[in-house]
Amino acid sequence: MTTAIEERGDGPNLPEQKRAQVVIPPETLAAFGGDELRARVFYEKYALRDVSGKQIERTPSQMWHRVASELASVEGEEGTRREWASKFYWLLEDYRFVPGGRILFGAGQPRNATLLNCYFFGIREDSIEAIFDFCKEAARTYSYGGGVGTDISVLRPKGSPVNNAAIFSSGAVSFMELLSTTTGTIGQAGRRGAQMITIRVDHPDVIDFINVKKDLKKVNYANISVKITDAFMRAVERDEDFELKFKNEKVELNRKVRAREIWKQLVKGAWESDEPGVIFWDTIKRESTTEYNQMEVEGVNPCSEQTLENYGNCCLGSVNLSAFVQEPFTDHSIVDWDSLVRATQYAVRFLDDVLDYNAERHPLPQQKKASLWSRRIGVGITGLGDMLIKLGLKYDEDATIEFVDKLFERVTNVIYGYSTELAKEK
């Protein structure tokens, strides 16, 4: 069946009227046990098509072979490449490991598409030129399928003097609509770009930032969050005044407000519309493992699960814990620790290979440089609830809490241990 297909960097994006016309092949439906929703998501979003839109893949197995062989291609000798292609296929098979969607779509993709879901880069300075340079870089990133996080704390607050016809600045918050519109415009044909905009809690425009989305016509294409500091939380606890301040070479402003007034606005926003989010920034900086050698984290990706350096990127995947239970739903169910450790080690190498494979696929050269310098990856988990059910463990039992603590300690140690060995090898 022939259908019109609108293409963007993230795969075939079919208008709703066209999606209804797409016939899912029987082998695709069979691969998902007849579940049409799952089959349709795979077939329309992740199965490979050629540049003309012709379908090449019909089953997850074909996708796993493609992804495994493509990523293993960056390994050394031919024998090593074959070895890791086989290991990566085992890792992906039956959803033992689920990489980020960009990886599943992008590996072996003939289009200009990054394999990394999202990036962070800031507005470099407090100027009109820097704001529009950011929009240009963000637009290019969206066109390759990546999302963008940024921070507007560098921009002077409302009422600050400016050396142009405006006399006074409209403030940092006034530019949020421009950033949001850039995000929405590039993705209008299908899957839109994703964006996170953050601001420090001590920026003088923070209250305007908190309330910006009360106008339902504004900033519709971005998530927003406030970077919370320890000093602010102490002021909230003590019901003290809190200093809002901004200083650069051209402007210096400061004023005090009741900390709990800001906190009330945050809580009200979360209750009314789930925004803005809060990011405990001092805690993040204190606990970060990369606060050195040009890898200091400066912001977050659009969903905030990873903190990133400037132009850093998200190379993510999740180990499916549910796949590592033997004899599930019985009195004899146990964790297959050997396979879980093996999969976790393979996941580290898999994502590290993504960095090399994607080196020439970044939208911006600064993103390539940051990626290869920090080699930042994120191995996460999914399926914990299913694992506990299969093991017969209840959420509210002390034994379950103890098990989860040991599980995460072991997985974490495996990730760091294998990452260290990989660094020695490569």
- The DSSP secondary structure of 28-54, one letter per residue, reads HHHHTTT-HHHHHHIIIIIS-B-TT--
Q: Are residues 285 and 387 in the same domain?
A: no
Q: Are residues 416 and 295 in the same domain?
A: no
Q: What residue has token string 């069979």?
A: 30
Q: Are residues 40 and 141 in the same domain?
A: no
Within 244-301, residue ranges assigned H as helices are 259-273, 281-287
Please check whether residue 40 lies inside any domain of the structure.
yes
Q: Please measure the distance between the N-terminal and C-terminal CA atoms of the chain and give it in whole angstroms.
A: 47
Residue 381 — φ and ψ, nearest 5°?
Answer: -130, 155
Please check whether residue 100 lies inside any domain of the structure.
no
Residue 114 — φ and ψ, nearest 5°?
Answer: -75, 150
113 CB burial (10 A radius; 0-12, 13-18, 19+)? buried
Give, in degrees to the nearest 5, the angle at Cα 168 between 163 and 174. 115
Q: Are residues 227 and 135 in the same domain?
A: yes
Q: Are residues 150 and 267 in the same domain?
A: yes
pLDDT given for residue 191 in this prediction: 63
Pick out the chain residues at pLDDT < 50.
1-13, 15, 17, 188-189
Q: Are residues 267 and 330 in the same domain?
A: no
pLDDT given for residue 389 in this prediction: 98
Last-in-domain residue among 30, 58, 86: 58
How many Å apart are CA 123 and CA 143, to the nearest integer? 19
Q: What residue numbers bound the domain in which 294 lies?
A: 118-300
Largest CA distance in the chain: 76
pLDDT given for residue 323 in this prediction: 98
**Which CATH number do you get for residue 250?**
3.20.70.20
How many Å apart are CA 201 and CA 205, to the nearest integer? 9
Q: Are residues 376 and 284 in the same domain?
A: no
Using alpha carbons, list the distances in angstroms from residue 16 to 10, 53, 189.
17, 17, 11
Q: What is the pTM of this model?
A: 0.90
Please check whether residue 92 lies inside any domain of the structure.
no
Q: Are residues 211 and 129 in the same domain?
A: yes
Q: Are residues 172 and 54 in the same domain?
A: no
pLDDT given for residue 5 in this prediction: 27
Please check whether residue 63 lies inside any domain of the structure.
no
Q: Are residues 238 and 146 in the same domain?
A: yes
How many Å apart are CA 233 and CA 288, to the nearest integer? 20
Q: Is the dihedral of CA 27, 33, 39, 41 positive or negative?
A: negative
Q: Is the dihedral of CA 352, 358, 364, 368 positive or negative?
A: positive
Q: Are residues 40 and 152 in the same domain?
A: no
* Beta carbons within 8 Å of 32's beta carbon, 6+ residues apart: 38, 39, 42
Please check whether residue 327 lies inside any domain of the structure.
yes
* Tens digit of each residue's pLDDT (9 = 90 or more) over 51-108: 888 899 999 999 999 999 999 999 989 999 999 999 999 999 999 999 999 999 999 9
> Which of 379, 372, 374 lies closest to 357 in space, CA to CA?
372
* Tens digit of each residue's pLDDT (9 = 90 or more) over 196-224: 999 999 999 999 999 999 998 999 999 99
Please check whether residue 68 lies inside any domain of the structure.
no
Please check whether residue 310 lies inside any domain of the structure.
no
Residue-wise DSSP of 64-92: HHHHHHHHHTTSSSHHHHHHHHHHHHHHH
pLDDT given for residue 151 in this prediction: 98
CA 371 to chain centre: 14
Count the Cβ atoms, other than its own, within 10 Å of residue 365: 9
pLDDT given for residue 251 in this prediction: 87
Residue 181 — φ and ψ, nearest 5°?
Answer: -65, -40
Please check whether residue 81 lies inside any domain of the structure.
no
pLDDT given for residue 51 in this prediction: 83
How many Å apart are CA 273 and CA 218, to the nearest integer? 13
Last-in-domain residue among 17, 41, 58: 58
Number of separate domains in the chain: 3
Percent with pLDDT over 90 in the chain: 82
pLDDT given for residue 111 in this prediction: 79
Last-in-domain residue among 234, 266, 300: 300
Q: Are residues 189 and 220 in the same domain?
A: yes
151 CB burial (10 A radius; 0-12, 13-18, 19+)? buried
How many Å apart are CA 238 and CA 79, to the nearest integer? 64
* E-strand stretches of 165-314: 195-200, 223-228, 241-247, 252-258, 277-280, 299-300, 307-308
Using alpha carbons, list the distances in angstroms from residue 305 to 84, 300, 375.
28, 7, 17
- String of b and e for 47-77 (b: at least 16 CB within 10 Å)? bbbeeeeebebbbbeebbbbbbbbbbebbee
User: For all residues of the chain together, what is the average pLDDT?
Assistant: 91
DSSP helix/strand/coil, 201: coil
